Structure 1
Amino acid sequence: MGTPTGSGQFSVNGQAMKGAQSALNGMAMDSPTIGALADESTNAAATAHKGWESAAALRAALAEWHEQVEQLTARLHRNSAAMEQTTLNYHTTNQSIADLLKVK
């Protein structure tokens, strides 16, 4: 929450909070695509090493990579939802404080 503005109301930069939420959403939406960049080269390397233990290790590493990307994507979605709720809470609090500070 910011300090009182010239009009005596407390304020939060709603645009900045909305921007943060949009950034989190963007990262969450981009994560699967970015995470898939390793697929082609890893699969090619595993195929080239067919019959070697390293081929199985490469495929296992790729599976772990995808699991980590899924977890990251889920976390980014949760953080985005939390940011949206925080923005709502700030606006509600600002309005409540403004209402309490109104001179009657």
Structure 2
Amino acid sequence: MNNLPVVRSPWRIVILLLGFTFLYAPMLMLVIYSFNSSKLVTVWAGWSTRWYGELLRDDAMMSAVGLSLTIAACAATAAAILGTIAAVVLVRFGRFRGSNGFAFMITAPL
């Protein structure tokens, strides 16, 4: 079914690991340094959850988090509804004038 050639190179795993390291190592370092007890980001002073406590006590920050979660929930709901409608249109109506452009617009962000 698939006519694409399969690459059987030992370098394939090395490149894959380097790519994943490039993508995920900064996120891992961010999580590790979020537990730093120092005020300076560049100086490691030991493990602490002090800054998480400060974050949870800040009313403005918690208000911003609540607003962000509300916007995220609205956006996810709207995307699910619009995606369902678009899928029904593509399946139910099949080929119609402009269906290629419609399908392209739906799949372009992927």
Whether these two folds match at TM > 0.5 is no
| TM-score, length basis structure 2 | 0.35
Bigger RCO of structures 1 and 2 (CA < 8 A, at least 6 apart): 1
| TM-score, length basis structure 1 | 0.37
- Give the helix-richer structure, 1 or 2: 1
